[in-house]
Structure 1
Amino acid sequence: MTSSQNYSTLAVLGAGTMGGILVRGLVKAGRPASTIGVTSHTAATREKIAEETGVQAFDDNATAAAWAEVLVLAVKPVKALGVLDEISAALRPGTVVISLCAGLSCALLESHLPAGTPVVRVMPNTPASVGAGMAGVSPGSHAGPEQEGLAVSLMSTVGKAVVLPENLQDAVTAISGSGPAYVFYFVEALVEAGVTQGLSRPLATELAVQTVLGSARLLDETGTHPALAREAVTSPGGTTGAALRAMDEHALRAAIQDAVEACVRRSAELTEAAVRG
């Protein structure tokens, strides 16, 4: 695997939520702040992260692109192609472009860059802010093992990363990219249910959060299939079974399936919106 340290300069175009998370993760992992640059359409955002981390703040994307050997595209998907058009002429030969933009294919991004520019598509998620992210990595037609390894190395500073075919990226978006919101939604509902049953909100929150955290850790560390782990908690005729039957009556599994399918469709729509500009 190629280390991100082999590339002397890296600029994050769009240091908002995910861009900012990656910058902070890289600095925390030991990458020299002087080798990282950031841009943002809001001056206060780029200046704040520069002050917090010691990285360089650039006033415009083209200047950052001319400076960096690696560009992380972290702007909103609908703005991404416009940013690429803006920086294309400024890119130095061999610049690697790593896209964090949901729904935008490598081929589409490549069409707005100089011929032969290596592009790697990445779908991260927000738990990266606490070093527990999950990212799917897909190299474009001009990206080889070196650029693929670079992207994996970068995302591994804030969690885990897996390499997969690009045609699975919409599914990755629906499961891990948007997935934290589903978990937060479930925890929110569980807390409200606890309050309804007489628990204080702080206690209900602590119980729900630790239960989700511990359950995920159990699956991760033991490798137990989720169905088997569920069965281990479910005694015949017991309280857990009653709760699960209620969930089945409300078609929870079908709702989750529908949610994932809706997310996949929306990811495809983002590509269409970006093309239309």
Structure 2
Amino acid sequence: MNLSLQTNKDDLNDLISQLKIGFIGAGNMAYGIAQGIITSGKVSPTNMIVSAPSMNNLPRFQERGVSITQSNEEVVQKSSVVFLAVKPHLIPKVLNEISHGVTQQHIIVSMAAGVTIATLEDLLPAETHVIRIMPNLPCVLMEGALILTSGSCAGEKEETLLKNLLSPCGLVEAGPEHWIDAHTGLSGSGVAFVYVFAEALAEGAVKMGMPSVLAQRIAAQTILGAGLLLRDTGKLPAQLKAEVCTPGGTTIHGLHELEKGGIRAAVMGAVEAATERARELGKK
């Protein structure tokens, strides 16, 4: 893959449209990223292939026009960008299986939590272009948050290519590798933390007499609206919170109860615990 001539946006889009994209692993993250790329029109599904050891998750890819296989080696043979979308403990096995087919023309993109760039590069041929990313579940709706970091042989051109390829999936940011584990705790696991909060919001309304189904819908819309305001206004959470609070009003009384329950410490502790677990997975 020659990126040397790609000096403007049109050239970059042309290059991306010609890419051959492969996924090893057919779980929700692989599907979310594939769906974002396909929906955006950046790459035709006929230029994509996905593998998995069983047929359980493959039909949904096939329905989108993506080729399917149970051979990881076939994915490497037919792809220029290969996403590793398997569990962290399977990475050594998969890389041992495919490494002989990996060339300097490939970009290998790992989504495995905790598995470091150094580990990936040790298991792949010398000078392989390796990029590590961490997506989250909302990628399936093209509203995800992704962090990426490049290996020693992946330069600015490969990073720019991947950022543009993944941009339909949501917010894409690049940074140092130690951000990846923190992002896992913040956004990867953080999605589940938000669901717990949504569940609690709805249950509070049910306790006060609202029907459960309606309470869940309103809780979801409340979180969605609050998130959009936070993202699109550029204001800090504290600023937006202050705009909702009135002296002696309902919100400040509710916030007092949250503070008594230790919500800040609990949430910070949850992010910390998830981050540390991601680091442990990498060491294993």
**Residues 94-122 of structure 1: per-residue CA shift (max 9 Å, x gap):** 21101111111111101100000010111
The amino acid across from 2:199 in the alignment is E
The amino acid across from 1:25 in the alignment is G
Structure 1 residue runs of 4 or more that deviate by more than 3 Å after TM superposition: 1-4
Contact kept, 8 Å, 2:17 with 2:44, in 1: the verdict is: no
RMSD value, Cα: 1.4
1:36 — aligned with what?
A: 48
1:164 — aligned with what?
A: 175
Q: Distance in 1 between matches of 2:191 and 2:79?
A: 31
SS, match of residue 56 in structure 2:
helix
2:230 pairs with 1:219 = yes
Q: How does 1:35-114 map to 2 (within 5 A)?
A: 35-46=47-58, 48-114=59-125
Tell me how far 1:45 sits from its aligned partner: 1.8
Q: Distance in 1 between matches of 2:248 and 2:92?
A: 57
When the two structures are aligned, how many residues end up with a matched partner?
272
Q: Structure 2: any 5+ residue segments left out of the alignment? A: 1-8
SS, match of residue 146 in structure 2:
strand
Identity fraction in percent:
35
**Residues 211-234 of structure 1: per-residue CA shift (max 9 Å, x gap):** 111111111221111111111111
Contact kept, 8 Å, 2:102 with 2:128, in 1: the verdict is: no
Contact kept, 8 Å, 1:7 with 1:69, in 2: the verdict is: no
- Using the size of structure 2 for normalisation, the TM-score is 0.92
SS, match of residue 227 in structure 2:
helix
SS, match of residue 186 in structure 2:
helix
Contact kept, 8 Å, 1:66 with 1:92, in 2: the verdict is: no
Q: How does 1:62-211 map to 2 (within 5 A)?
A: 62-211=73-222
Q: Structure 1: any 5+ residue segments left out of the alignment? A: none
Q: Distance in 1 between matches of 2:260 and 2:254?
A: 10
Point out the more displaced range, 85-94 or 108-117: 85-94
Contact kept, 8 Å, 1:137 with 1:163, in 2: the verdict is: yes
Q: Distance in 1 between matches of 2:19 and 2:230?
A: 38
